[in-house]
Chain A
Amino acid sequence: MNNGLCISAHCRIKDNSAALNGETVFTLEEASFTQFIKALYRDQKFEYSKFFKMDNLSKLGFAAAEILLSNADDKIMGEEVGVVLANANASLDTDVKHQESIADAKNYFPSPSVFVYTLPNIVIGEICIKHKFTGENACLISKSFDSDQLFEYTMNLFNNGKVSSCLIGWVDCYLGEYDAALFFITRNNDKKSNFESERLKSIYQNCS
């Protein structure tokens, strides 16, 4: 059924590779996440120095959003753009680093710049700050990519007039493993890319 919404673009970052709408835009063989994401930043010319202060989850989500929105319509109204992201490990990757810094009472030096990332929704904030998005946002936690959950939540936002476009998807990282799959949902009667749960699932499973 056509709901008047379409997936106007999708981006995937996984296994040292970044792709936009299924086309690889950058790849780096045999590199750690840190090496890969830094090389991706340079290659894609993000030019946003705060990037290097972000934790891994935010770097991953920010990079995916930058690539996803690189060809987005300039007329996007920031106050009408929502962001709905989900993941399995919340902010655990950074939580562990923070815990390590406070585990020894004799060497107790928690880092403020690490601590501020010990929430899973900070990545949404970083994306919103960069793109001046002030619409509704939500951070969902699920065991694995759940297209039904993302679809239903996003449809609710559109049906209630909360957003006119929405950046949604999966941004997860923990201990060097990472996976980002972002989708930009807009109002459009494009049957080929109609916004459906099954289509989200299919793109997630087939686009790497």
Chain B
Amino acid sequence: MEELINKLKAEIIEVLNLEDISPEDIEAESPLFGEGGLGLDSIDALELIVLLEKNYEIKIENPQDGKQIFFSIQSMADFITQQKVA
């Protein structure tokens, strides 16, 4: 899980062009959107959906699930792990 979390951090920094942020700056449990986290926006959310499809071959069937899946790096990692088992 630790390895997946670190991989996700690196991928998100690259895909979202978070120039001034390093993997160490991102807390796995911190919210990705809104205040107190990375402050991502709606376009970033779409980019994260593409990231899951492209790098993990996971398609989000129900858009309503997005809020929970993309809450934090940890929740993304949990979702990916769960999908791989299923």
A111 touches B (CB below 8 Å): yes
Name B53's contact: one of A38, A52, A109, A113 (CB within 8 Å): A109
A-chain residues with CB within 8 Å of residue B18 when the two chains form the complex: 49, 52
Name B54's contact: one of A38, A52, A53, A109 (CB within 8 Å): A109
Given A109-B53, A112-B47, A113-B16, 6 other A-B residues pairs in contact with their CB atoms under 8 A? A49-B20, A52-B18, A109-B50, A109-B54, A111-B50, A116-B43
Chain A interface helix/strand/loop/mixed: helix
| Size of interface on A: residues with Cβ below 8 Å to B | 10
Sorting the interface of chain B by its residue count into under 10, 10 to 19, 20 to 34 or 35 or more gives: 10 to 19
B19 touches A (CB below 8 Å): yes
B-chain residues with CB within 8 Å of residue A111 when the two chains form the complex: 47, 50
What are the 9 tightest A-B residue pairs by CB atom distance, in nearest-first order?
Answer: A112-B46, A52-B19, A52-B17, A109-B54, A53-B17, A113-B43, A113-B47, A112-B43, A112-B47
Q: Is the CB of B16 within 8 A of A53?
A: yes
B11 touches A (CB below 8 Å): no
Name A113's contact: one of B19, B20, B44, B54 (CB within 8 Å): B44
Give CA–CA (A116, B41) in the complex, Å: 13
